Every structure is written in C-alpha cells, then in structure tokens.
Amino acid sequence: MAPKSALLLQGPVGPFFRRFASELQHHGIQVTKVNFNSGDSFFFRGPEVIRYRDPIDEWPARFRKIVKEQKVDAIFLVGDCRVIHKPIIPIAQEMGIAVWVFEEGYLRPDHITLERDGVNGNSSMPKDPEQYRAEAARMGPAPKADRIGDTFVPFAIQSVLYACAHAVGTWRYPHYQHHRDIRPLGQGIAWAQSAWRKKTYAFKESGILERAIREWSGNFFLVPLQLHCDFQIVHSDYESIPAFMEEVLETFAEHGPADTRLLIKHHPLDRAYRDYTDFIARHSRRLRVEGRVHYIHDQHLPTLLKHARGVVTMNSTVGTSALYHQAPVKVMGRAIYNVPQLTYQGSLANFFCEIGKVDTALFRDFNRWMREHNQYNGSFYKVSEGICPEQEICERLVGPKPKADGDERSDKTYPREAK
C-alpha cells in the first residue's frame, strides 16, 4: 500500500534525502525527518525535522513515540546495519510499518538500490534461478539506463562538507557516535597518505596490467577486496578482511594449479586507511607461493575481469561486474547474486581447479529482475539532467502524480525546490 506518512532517518551524505523528501511531498505524502548530527542538519533543514540529541539507548523508545505521533506507515534509511537503524527495524516491522532501505546500486555504475526490509545480506531477493528466468520473460527488454558519469568529485565534496559540519556542531549532538571515523584532521592526513601511496603503487606495479593481459590471461584469479569497515563483512563468517585473505591464500597454496596466479586487488577507497603489503608477503612466503601472488591497486578493473580465470569475493558488488564480463565467481560470504547456476556453488578448493563458465542468459534475467524491483537509474551524489531516481521511486510506490494547473514539471525532472 502507498505510504501516507513517511519517516526519513539517516541518509547518504549530501542533499539526496532533501530531494527525496520534496518528491514525497509532491506526491501528497507527509514527511518527517530525524537528524542525528550536525552533518545531517547541514543537508536537511526545515519544519519537518526532529533533532535527536539523547543517548542511543533511549532512541528506540523515542522512535516509538515519533511514529505514533506522526502516524508513520513507512520509514526510509541508508545502512540497515548502522547502530541507529539496526535496533528500530524490528520495532517498525512489529508495528506494521514498511521499512525501505537505500544502498549503493547492486548494478554499477549509474544505479541506486531501494529494497523492502533490508539490503545485501538482509535482502529478501529470491535464490531460485527459475524465478528470475520466468519473471524476466514476462517483463520484456529492460529500459536503457542513462549514464551518470563520474561521481567521485561530488561525493568527495559532500563528504568533506558533512564531516566538517559534524565536527563543528558536535556540541549540539553530544551523544552521537558515527559508524565510521569522519574527523576532518584525521581524514585529511589519511587522504594525503592515500595520494602518496597511489604514486608509490603506480611505480611498483608498472607493467603488471600488460603482463595480466599477455602472459597470464585465463590463468589468474582476481580477489577484489572490500573496505576494512564495510558493513558487508557482517554478512559473512569472517571477522575481518585479513581473515578472508588468509583463507583464500591457504586454499590457493594447497589447491591452485601450479600455472595459475592470484591477483589481490585493494579497494580504491581503502587506500587511505589500510596497506596489506606486509600481510600478503608474509603469508605468501609461509605458504611458498610468493612468486604467484600479486598485490595490486589502481589497475583497470574491467580489463582484469575480461582476462581472469575466475573471481573470488567475500560479497563485493564487483561480483556482478565479473559476471557481466563472463568471469566465473566464487562467493565466500552472503551476496545477493550468489544464486545457483549463476555463481559457483562448490568449494573454493574445487573452484581453483575447475574451468568455470557464466550463464549469461541467467545473468541477463537476474539484472532484468533487479531493474524492475529494486534498482533505480541515478546517483545519490550527482544530479544529472533528465535523471530523477526520486521521482521514479515515488511513482513505483504511489503511482504518477497528476499535474496541477501551473505545474511545469516534465515527466523526468527534479522537483522545483531541488533544482
């Protein structure tokens, strides 16, 4: 049922939730927004805002009070594992309130995700490949997604503004603890270190992409790492990224064919915070595979995927990119795309020994299903002409809003308030 009163909790950095609230209001939905720190307040102001400044253990009771007073029947949030969101999701469900969770796009780039009740490991997406095949056949061809372009610069700017606002206004929200370290000074030092590391790694890894294409093509396994603080880690049986790497290295050392190599690719946004050079070198020596294991950074991912024999991932969205490039995938955690016949379902040891193949027709049907159910063309951080995920979301939830006299909005534009 279409919501009548929506509660917005913490969203992505930037003005996306402000635009989304405007679109909800344009569709006749009452909006209440809770801000938890001064970064939230910097990007979302207005009479519909409630500022929560009390200790976190008092938040569930306050949440119950807010939803009753505002007659809330739907909540929207980003990050279902954040400490401010995790305890109230079951409360909302008990009260019959729809819980909608935003996430970066399962389909990258140019998409955002919105799912009912949870995302990633908490997703309710089906695991039956026949369901994807049957539903995709009824849907017909997927609409072409518009290109958003590079979003790193607007994301970086909005992240800096959010962090600075949070730091300056800490006294306004004395009990708030962010799920990641966003202190401006520490972040400045980290990203200066990242810039230095980028140059260093580029020098050390000179020529490795060419070797992967010419010498190792079809004989290397790619292991894309995730952020050390990624909530995706909780959707696995590993306590950390190093624990995941250690199992992969040990299995590769014991079962990987002698003519194969392992390329471990660092997450580009984690370059500022972690360096696994010594860890990988130490374990490679211990396992006597140091000549066959390579630690890489800013190499062109699509090219690597096209030439990889297979991809081993905890649950990174690189897995869907790998399937797109027809690289077989072994998932070691709980990923939405870990579907029988789509990804390898045997052991990691056997994955290293077998020549896998991707069912491209099933992957196409899987993508078609997601485009229909939980993927929206757009970006949290960048406004592109003619691309309005907020409007598409509202129309799926409520239906098209008839234009009132004097309403100049086209079928695909942003609300006037957000232009």
For residue 272, CA distances in Å to 117, 159, 192, 227, 398 come to 33, 15, 8, 10, 42
**Phi first, then psi: what are they for 313, rounded to 5°?**
-140, 150
Q: Which pLDDT does position 222 carry in this prediction? A: 98
Mean pLDDT per 10-residue run, the chain (419 residues)? 92 96 96 97 96 97 98 96 96 97 92 96 95 94 89 88 93 91 75 82 90 96 94 92 98 97 93 92 97 94 96 95 96 96 97 94 96 95 91 88 56 42
DSSP-derived 3-state class of residue 220: strand
210 exposed, middle or buried (CB, 10 Å; 0-12, 13-18, 19+)? exposed
The domains located in the chain, with CATH, are 5-150+375-418 (3.40.50.20), 205-367 (3.40.50)
What does the block give as tokens for 21? 């609230």
Q: What is the maximum span of the chain, computed from C-alpha positions, in angstroms?
A: 74
Q: What is the pLDDT of residue 403?
A: 62
pLDDT of residue 185: 73
Q: For residue 345, which amino acid is it?
A: Q
| pLDDT of 336 | 96
Enter the pTM of the model: 0.89
pLDDT value of residue 271 = 85
